[in-house]
Structure 1
């Protein structure tokens, strides 16, 4: 019989594959070519919905088979950790608001020399970190005030996937904004606020 841990890992890998494909520029170009510019309005909501649907089996399996408990953080520290998670959860919506050009489909497919391109326009949270989604994701998972074996495995794999995803996004942003983004990388760190840029 296949262990619950292996099934959870396989579901997580399936999520990562689907999420990576739908986030890739070749897939987005294919969708735009097939459906035209009208895809702009619904691509991000559909992409987000697919991400939620494909991660639900992992959440359900973790609920059924959390594995051996490694630790439970006592009060009041658990509430400090939960407060940190809530603060991090506010960062993602703020990141969407602070840099709309990063998330518009037609701009993602543009390059600096195309008519539809827009300047990088650094503002809000992006003045302190280049990838607020990476930071908020890491804070939310690693400040969980309890840990089990299967949860730890999922968090380790997720952390690796988050970092690889961040590298992918950075390459796309270099393609989208060119030298402007390369200069920005030198000034702002990827996910550690308030320190000088680092790759």
Structure 2
């Protein structure tokens, strides 16, 4: 039991290290220098593929060694939780569709108020929550209608990693958009949806 948990934690740490490296600005600058303009087109698909390949062993091991069951949520609450997860899965792609400029390499590597940085352009889901990636990830994890020991350990560590990643992502957005993003931070919460919406 203890050994399976340690292996799972090691897999998660390995995924986090690779994911953080490939998401870092120094690594993206290196890719831009080596690959050139083609990096803009292929970086996100390759990055997503690497994330999938590196998380797959963790998912496999969790399925194979879930550990002792802590609880199973009965109906009808089970279906409410699964419904919440499905909504989060449907909403998650909006994070890319509503702000594609945030994920372009040249934009991320540029200074505020430059043509490459582009406008902040708050729209769609970002009018209500600053980090819908973080929100959807937390909803998908913590609305799981059953819990095991190993799953709980991975969820706790993943929550910490996602939150720290969100803090890092926002420092990058401040670097990209400057005071305009700081003003946005004052009006819209990072995780809890803002009912009034951003103007």
Q: Which bin holds the TM-score, normalised by the shorter protein?
A: over 0.9
Shift of 1:187: 0.5
Residue segments in structure 1 that go unaligned for 5+ positions in a row: none
- Give the TM-score of the pair, scaled to structure 2: 0.96
Shift of 1:110: 1.0
Counterparts of 1:40-79 in structure 2, within 5 Å, are: 40-79=40-79
Q: Deviations over 1:108-159 (max 9, x none)?
A: 1111143322110000000000000000000000000000000000000000
Measured in 1, the distance between the counterparts of 2:22 and 2:58 equals: 19
Aligned to 1:107: 107
Residue segments in structure 2 that go unaligned for 5+ positions in a row: none
Shift of 1:195: 6.1
2:197 maps to 1:188: no
> How many pairs does the alignment contain?
197
Measured in 1, the distance between the counterparts of 2:67 and 2:50 equals: 27
Q: Deviations over 1:23-42 (max 9, x none)?
A: 00110000001110111111
Measured in 1, the distance between the counterparts of 2:66 and 2:178 equals: 45
| Equivalent residues of 1:91, 1:133 under 8 A apart | no
| Equivalent residues of 2:8, 2:61 under 8 A apart | yes
- Give the TM-score of the pair, scaled to structure 1: 0.96
Q: Which has the higher contact order (CA 8 A, sep 6+)?
A: 2
RMSD of the TM alignment (CA)?
A: 1.6
